[in-house]
Amino acid sequence: MFHIYKMRDDHVLDFAAEELKKYLWMMMPECGNTPISIDPSAKDGFRLGLLEDFGLPNEAPDPVRDDVVHVDTDECGGILAGSNARSVLFAVYRFLRLNGCRWLFPGVDGEYIPRKNIEPQKYHKLADHWYRGHTTEGMPSIEQAMDFIDYNTKQEQNVFAPLGVWGYHDNYYNHAYTDAHRDPEPVTMTQHDQWKALYLTEITKRGLLITDGEHADCARSIGIDPDERMSFVRGEKFPTEEQKSKMAMLDGVRTLRKDRWNVGKYNCGDPFTTQLCYSQPEIRTNLVKVIADHAEKNQHLDSMQIFLSDAHHNHCECPDCYDTRPSDYLIMICNELDEELNRRGIHTKLVFYIYVDLMFAPEKETLNNPDRFFLQFCPITRSYTNSIDENTIIPPPNPYIRKNEWEAPKTMEGCVAHLKDWQKTFPGQCYTYEYHFWRPQYRDPGLTYISRRLYDDVRSQKYFGSQGMLQDGSVKSFFPHGFHDHIYAETLVNRDCDYDAEKADFMQHLYGEDWKQVNAYLTAISEAFGEKYMAGEDSADPDKGTHYNPGRVPYLEKVKELAAMARDLAAKHLVMPTRPQTVAYRLLKRHAEYCQRLAEIFIEKCQGNNKYALEMFRKFVYDFGKYDIEMERYADIGLAMSALEVLVKQMPKIEF
């Protein structure tokens, strides 16, 4: 019988103690109902507390944001400590991992918990990056999002950003891309608001850092209700003349701008992708008030995002705006917001982001109070077929020609060149906002290349002064496995972790003794589709399209044989000793069908048969959509089809 002692009264330590109790009981049933109490003087059992509670040094540069995890245990208990309460929870999970536990998917079905006695463990680590986490993207249900927050914490990710969650949940409950098989279930904004509170409760319970903000702020500041966004997009509602007068002028017209990301069936202008006329002081004042009001109502936030509208090449070209860069207006807004928050006595950190038009550094403006700010580096225009390292030569940034006329940097080193230009005037803390779990992961059906890219990209952060990474991507990125998410999380904690060792451990726990066969299949699938080919970077004739390449056909034709092998392998493993393995092989069976159908589509694309490829894709969306209910906890079929549609429909090239 163990006893669990907390060194202090703290709600996150309460949760950490309950988690330790739960998993010890699952590992060793004879432990029974382990008692939990507060006793700062305890000398035996498991003792949970901050480093200073045990007289241990705390090397965290910022104890609120940096995580030090300390494990020193024997067969009877020991010390589980951290630099803050969240780090103590991480110490519990690290101790359990050292004793053989694995969390391979979100939810109970993803838990690999061995039946064994605990063994002595020693571990001490200051995480190599202080910013580590995810946002919500894609098309999740609220239950799936809650499972991911729990999973995210077990991977020792210290940040969760519930940015614009209602839109993503709306896509799920209306079953975008799978509505032929599932009736839409519209959810009210009141329900979404309640779910946002649920997000914050679950995040806070674990002591995670929270950053929040919305592209909706610009719309809200000119009197457009963000809840009515889709009414405008569908052409059911239109802005007033007063609202139009505050919108960006392009080609002499002020109106809602179409969403350049949108490949859907309607788009009559989107309030979330429409910039404002930022040279008008009252417009900036109204925007500042909207953001400041949100910060005042949500002082539990670690940081508040300052978002302009989404999309690109859409900034105001009126005579008053034309000669001022968007980034100069962004810094003006930052300074005005800082002043307003100071006036209100609010000390929340602010995040400004460099993204598309804002990648080009300001010419005139600088921050008055840089210590309040984090810089969020968003290299969305980069290729995901290369990473940088210590030997990479960073080129000069792309030239800024004039308002809305610029060429996006297409490589990671090109994006870093723009960051370094920004860092000349802002030497403060910076982290990277990335997109591996958005569209790029779906361009690698075997997830082999994207896993390695994540490892290399996380390791590269120190070369350009980034303190970590926040991922914009689906919280259901586990089809057919989640190794890319695991290696992302583990490398953020320990940038020198061994990629091959981590992969072998993960795959062996997920697929059992035949894991090498599964790994060989996944590797062959990635190679058949080709990293550069799927990214649109291997065309034999760009004038015929990014995916025109007859030479790729023989590789894609191999997928049919590979899929047959995978189906046979799955059939032999449909019932496995552990639940995660049973789930994994059933997903593998569906993955074989998915890859075979996808290869058939891209064989047509390779040969320039674009119209037929699109017909095949639409049938594929319908046919595979019937598995949505079966797979929805692990596979984001809606986001996958949305990402693939971009590749199938585009002509002749993909660019920003």
pLDDT in tens, 604-629: 999 999 999 999 999 999 999 999 99
Model confidence pLDDT, tens digit, residues 380-429:
999 999 999 999 999 999 999 999 999 999 999 999 999 999 999 999 99
- Is residue 272 within 8 A of residue 309, CB to CB? The reply is yes
- Is residue 174 within 8 A of residue 185, CB to CB? The reply is yes
- The type of residue at 570 is A
- Is residue 93 within 8 A of residue 61, CB to CB? The reply is no
What is the H or E stretch that residue 306 is in? strand 303-306
- Is residue 511 within 8 A of residue 584, CB to CB? The reply is yes
Q: Where are the domains of the chain?
A: 4-126, 213-375+400-427, 510-649
Give 166's pLDDT tier (boundaries 50, 70, 90).
Answer: confident
| Residue 611 Ramachandran class (φ > 0 left, ψ -120 to 50 alpha, else beta) | alpha
Instruction: For strands 303-306 and 209-212, give the pairing.
Output: parallel
Determine how many CB atoms are found less than 10 A away from the CB of residue 94: 23
What is the H or E stretch that residue 102 is in? strand 102-103
CATH assignment, 4-126: 3.30.379.10
Please give the Cα distance from 270 to 250 (Å, whole number).
Answer: 15
Where do runs of H (alpha helix) occur along 180-259? Answer: 189-205, 217-221, 229-233, 241-244
The predicted pLDDT at position 264 comes to: 53
Residue 537 pLDDT exceeds 90: yes
Instruction: For strands 46-50 and 111-112, give the pairing.
Output: unpaired
Give 230's pLDDT tier (boundaries 50, 70, 90).
Answer: confident
Q: List Cα–Cα distances, 334 to 265, 287, 318, 532, 581, in angstroms.
A: 36, 11, 22, 39, 49
- The type of residue at 191 is Q
For residue 474, what is the DSSP state?
Answer: B
Which tokens go with 399?
A: 């030239």
Place of tokens 């779906």: 442
Place of tokens 């490589």: 411
* Per-residue b or e along 285-298, where b marks 16 or more CB atoms closer than 10 Å to that residue's CB: ebbbebbbebbeee
The predicted pLDDT at position 541 comes to: 96
What is the H or E stretch that residue 159 is in? strand 159-161
Please state the three-class secondary structure of 23-82 as a single string: HHHHHCHHHCCCCEEECCCCCCCEEEEEHHHHCCCCCCCCCCCCCEEEEEEECCEEEEEE
Please give the Cα distance from 351 to 365 (Å, whole number).
Answer: 16
Residue 260 pLDDT exceeds 80: no
Mean per-residue pLDDT over the chain, rounded: 95
Model confidence pLDDT, tens digit, residues 490-507:
999 999 999 999 999 999
Please give the Cα distance from 300 to 199 (Å, whole number).
Answer: 13
pLDDT over 70 percentage in the chain = 99
Place of tokens 């590269």: 460
Return the C-alpha torsion angle 384, 388, 394, 400, nearest 10. 20
Residue 356 pLDDT exceeds 60: yes
Return the C-alpha torsion angle 635, 641, 646, 649, nearest 10. 160
Cross-strand pairs, 47: 5, 79
Residues across the chain: 656
Cα 247–chain centre separation: 30
The least confident of 187-201, 384-398, 405-419, 462-476 is 187-201
Which tokens go with 563?
A: 């899929």
The predicted pLDDT at position 167 comes to: 87
Residue 263 pLDDT exceeds 50: no
Residue 654 pLDDT exceeds 80: no
Residue 461 pLDDT exceeds 90: yes
Residue 651 pLDDT exceeds 80: no
- Is residue 152 within 8 A of residue 487, CB to CB? The reply is no
Angle between helices 579-606 and 499-511 (to 10 degrees): 110
- The type of residue at 449 is Y
Please give the Cα distance from 235 to 637 (Å, whole number).
Answer: 27
Instruction: For strands 46-50 and 36-38, give the pairing.
Output: unpaired
Model confidence pLDDT, tens digit, residues 560-617:
999 999 999 999 999 999 999 999 999 999 999 999 999 999 999 999 999 999 999 9
Please give the Cα distance from 328 to 364 (Å, whole number).
Answer: 6
Q: What percent of the chain is helix, strand and coil (3-state, nearest 5)?
A: 45, 15, 40
Cα 126–chain centre separation: 23
Q: Which residues contact residue 536 at a Cβ distance below 8 angstroms, ignoring those fewer than 6 apart?
A: 546, 547, 647, 650, 653, 654
Higher pLDDT, 193 or 515: 515
Closest to 632 (Cα-Cα) out of 516, 477, 520: 477
Q: What is the pTM of this model?
A: 0.96
The predicted pLDDT at position 266 comes to: 64
For residue 535, what is the DSSP state?
Answer: T
DSSP three-state, residue 412: helix
Please give the Cα distance from 108 to 582 (Å, whole number).
Answer: 13
Determine how many CB atoms are found less than 10 A away from the CB of residue 603: 21
- Reported in sequence order, the residue ranges of 201-294 that DSSP labels E, i.e. its strands, are 209-212, 249-250, 253-254
Residue 374 pLDDT exceeds 80: yes
Model confidence pLDDT, tens digit, residues 285-318:
999 999 999 999 998 999 999 999 998 999 999 9
* Per-residue b or e along 177-192, where b marks 16 or more CB atoms closer than 10 Å to that residue's CB: bbeeebeeeebeeeeb
Sign of the torsion formed by the C-alpha atoms of 277, 163, 156 and 103:
negative
- Is residue 363 within 8 A of residue 323, CB to CB? The reply is no
The predicted pLDDT at position 84 comes to: 98
Residue 259 pLDDT exceeds 80: no
- Is residue 470 within 8 A of residue 509, CB to CB? The reply is no
Give 262's pLDDT tier (boundaries 50, 70, 90).
Answer: low
